[in-house]
């Protein structure tokens, strides 16, 4: 398992993250087995959000009930959560951020979050309010580091005018098949090619230039929660063929290859796994440091349907 220090933090952690969005119906024992399989594979980073679950803080509560960390253990893992999505609207107000973090800490049964992310851009936000909330949370020792999710470079810059803490993470949707973040730059300038349309104002290059760690969510989803491309030979025959071949070459399960496609990128991204199957955690985590060659990386890219002009 590859580990690295996230720039502008004192967090050293795995480049694979276990996401806990799908655990609400699992038993305590199943959650412990899932988390145990992650830790056995070398995963030290856990991703939550206040909104995950059937009610606010649902998944955080299930995690807190099932998993107990000793003080030493707590320092050896990274717990990240998010705030800002409410039922029917988004809310970056100071009051909501402060209340939600208190509820997250109670649900997770922990004294502090290592990282808090603003979940999706709230166009009605006042950056000064976000800044005041972050100052309060940091001064109280409730949150150690801050970041964003699904936000454009301009939105990050706007926050940075008021927020004094570094914004160290941007968590974004990225898989081999859903890769506008990467694919656009490869085909910039091509008339008439959908891939050439810039939909995020250059998040990838901005993040690299500003030492913001990108975290890839939905690494196995075809698109926006519409199923897994891995093993879908009807819709992705060529991609699955290349995945099979490379899994054989590197002696790993097929699930490791889509992960390796993300971790192989020099932007030093993290991959947020969403599986609740302990065997899938182990198989996927093996992609942490598979050294795909450039040629193999581009073969996967084109087999997924992206263009090299």
Of 100, 145, 149, 155, the residue at the interface with ligand NAP (CB under 6 A) is 149
Of 275, 285, 300, 303, the residue at the interface with ligand NAP (CB under 6 A) is 275
Q: Which stretch binds ligand NAP (CB under 6 A): 2-10, 155-163, 220-228, 287-295?
A: 220-228
Sequence-ordered list of residues with C-beta below 8 angstroms from that of 71, at least 6 positions apart, any chain: none
Total residue count of the chain as it appears in this document: 309
Q: Does 19 bind ligand NAP (CB under 6 A)?
A: yes
Residues 31-60, one symbol each (x = binds ligand NAP by CB under 6 A, - = not), give ----------------x-------------
Strand partners, 221: 228
Q: Does 255 bind ligand NAP (CB under 6 A)?
A: yes
Calculate the alpha carbon distances from 55 to 23, 25, 49, 107, 228 in Å: 13, 12, 11, 12, 25
Q: Does 180 bind ligand NAP (CB under 6 A)?
A: no
User: How many positions of this chain bind ligand NAP (CB under 6 A)?
Assistant: 25
Shortest spacing between CB 117 and ligand NAP, in angstroms: 7
Calculate the alpha carbon distances from 276 to 12, 14, 258 in Å: 24, 19, 17
Sign of CA dihedral 263, 267, 270, 275: negative
The two three-digit tokens of residue 258, written as one number = 């889509």
Shortest spacing between CB 222 and ligand NAP, in angstroms: 9
Cα–Cα dist 212/8, whole Å = 9
Of 104, 171, 184, 207, the residue at the interface with ligand NAP (CB under 6 A) is 171
Other residues' Cβ atoms within 10 Å of the Cβ of residue 91: 16
Which chain residues interact with ligand NAP by CB under 6 A?
A: 19-22, 47, 149-150, 171, 217-221, 228, 230, 255, 272-277, 280, 283-284
């Amino acid at each position: 398992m590859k580990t690295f220090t996230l720039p502008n933090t004192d967090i050293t952690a795995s480049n694979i993250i276990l996401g806990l969005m799908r655990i609400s119906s699992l038993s305590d024992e199943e959650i412990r087995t899932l988390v145990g399989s992650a830790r056995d594979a070398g995963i030290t980073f856990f991703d939550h959000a206040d909104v995950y679950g059937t009610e606010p803080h649902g998944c955080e509560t299930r995690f807190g009930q099932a998993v107990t960390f000793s003080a030493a253990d707590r320092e050896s893992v990274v717990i990240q959560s998010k705030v800002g999505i409410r039922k029917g609207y988004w809310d970056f107000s100071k009051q909501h951020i402060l209340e939600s973090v208190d509820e997250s800490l109670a649900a997770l049964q922990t004294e502090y979050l290592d990282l808090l992310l603003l979940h999706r851009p709230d166009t009605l936000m006042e950056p000064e309010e976000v800044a005041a909330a972050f100052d309060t949370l940091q001064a109280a020792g409730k949150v150690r580091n801050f970041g964003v999710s699904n936000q454009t470079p301009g939105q990050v810059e706007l926050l940075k005018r008021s927020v004094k803490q570094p914004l160290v993470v941007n968590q974004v949707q990225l898989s081999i098949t859903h890769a506008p973040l990467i694919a656009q730059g490869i085909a910039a300038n091509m008339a008439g090619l959908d891939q050439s349309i810039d939909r995020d104002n250059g998040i990838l290059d901005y993040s690299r230039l500003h030492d913001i760690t990108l975290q890839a969510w939905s690494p196995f989803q075809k698109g926006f929660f519409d199923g897994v491309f891995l093993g879908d030979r009807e819709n992705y025959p060529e991609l699955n063929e290349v995945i099979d071949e490379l899994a054989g070459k590197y002696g790993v399960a097929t699930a490791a290859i889509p992960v390796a496609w993300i971790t192989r990128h020099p932007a030093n991204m993290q991959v947020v796994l969403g599986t609740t199957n302990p065997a899938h955690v182990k198989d996927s985590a093996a992609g942490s440091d598979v050294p795909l060659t450039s040629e193999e990386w581009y073969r996967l890219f084109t087999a997924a349907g992206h263009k090299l002009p």
